[in-house]
Amino acid sequence: MLHRARVVFPSSPPSAEPLAAGVRLLEELGLVVDVDPYLDDPSLLVADSDERRARHFTEAWLDPETDLIVAGCGGYGSQRMLDHVDWDRLRNVPPKPFLGSSDATALHSRIRIELRVPSLFGPMCSSSVHLLDDETRTSLRAMISGSDSPSIRAAEKQTLVGGAASGVLAGGNLSLLAASIGCPEGTPPLGALVILEDVGEAPYRIDRLLLQLRRSDWFAQTAGILLGDFVDCGDLHEILVDRLADLGVPVCAGFPFGHDTRQVTVPLGVRAHLDADAGTLDILEQPSWSSG
């Protein structure tokens, strides 16, 4: 059971009201919540300097009183602070879960590469609208309490390629994954079940992002693909079929993660099983932070 959460801001600054609502909702889930300082101006690109944002994340990871680190807001900027984090120091202390999504995708990928521990792709503190959804709260509560993760079901299942596969969960926001190619965090684990989602990208941009991943052989060792919400991205069916259906792996769309009001928490870095015909994802091992 996780008891104390610390909210950090690796990306953009939040708006005050959603952040406060998110803190209250996390407290309702049984967490004591501490909020790190940030530049209180939502018009700014990032929540603080790259060095200070990296230092706050490092301090949160090193703090023995902190059980869970939560990204306070998405937006932009997590990639800018990655190389300022003292990863060597983090490897020498007991690990802990990091929770976030969207722009935090780059941080999830770097945690996997540097620390080799699971992380949680799920609602951020200022995304309190997600925490109002029953499925979202149930999923996050299961992760916080350490209970078995319920199966994740695609609510509006679209089986692009049938079949089943098992592998380690990886991925996240499509734009961040494409932007990380060539960087230390830019490759998925071998045999991964890859989750993909995005928001506010025109169809041609989604096509270009997927093409970039394909041309860089990013999907070469992928075992299966789960597509979440692509909010305000237009009709993508033909593009998704064109870019993903011939990879020779199961592909299923309609899973409730991403930027919609339902946002289940997906444990990255653990083994899971995808049944693309049934539209289900079963978590085969519960995430553990007892050792690196």
- pLDDT per residue as tens digits for the range 49-85: 999 999 999 999 999 999 999 999 999 999 999 999 9
What pLDDT sits at residue 147? Answer: 79
According to DSSP, the β-strands at 4-8 and 68-71 are parallel
pTM: 0.95
Distances (CA, A) of 9 to 98, 245, 274, 280: 12, 37, 32, 32
pLDDT of 236-246, one tens digit each? Answer: 999 999 999 99
State how far Cα 123 lies from the chain centre: 8
The pair phi, psi for residue 10, each rounded to 5°, is -75, -10
User: In the predicted model, is pLDDT for residue 206 greater than 90?
Assistant: yes
According to DSSP, the β-strands at 271-275 and 119-121 are unpaired
Whether 197 sits among the annotated catalytic residues: the reply is yes
Say which of 102, 109, 119, 139 is annotated catalytic: 102
User: In the predicted model, is pLDDT for residue 28 greater than 70?
Assistant: yes
Say which of 109, 180, 197, 201 is annotated catalytic: 197
Max Cα–Cα distance, the chain, nearest Å: 49
Say which of 56, 108, 130, 259 is annotated catalytic: 259
- Using alpha carbons, select from 197, 194, 204 the residue that is nearest to residue 247: 194
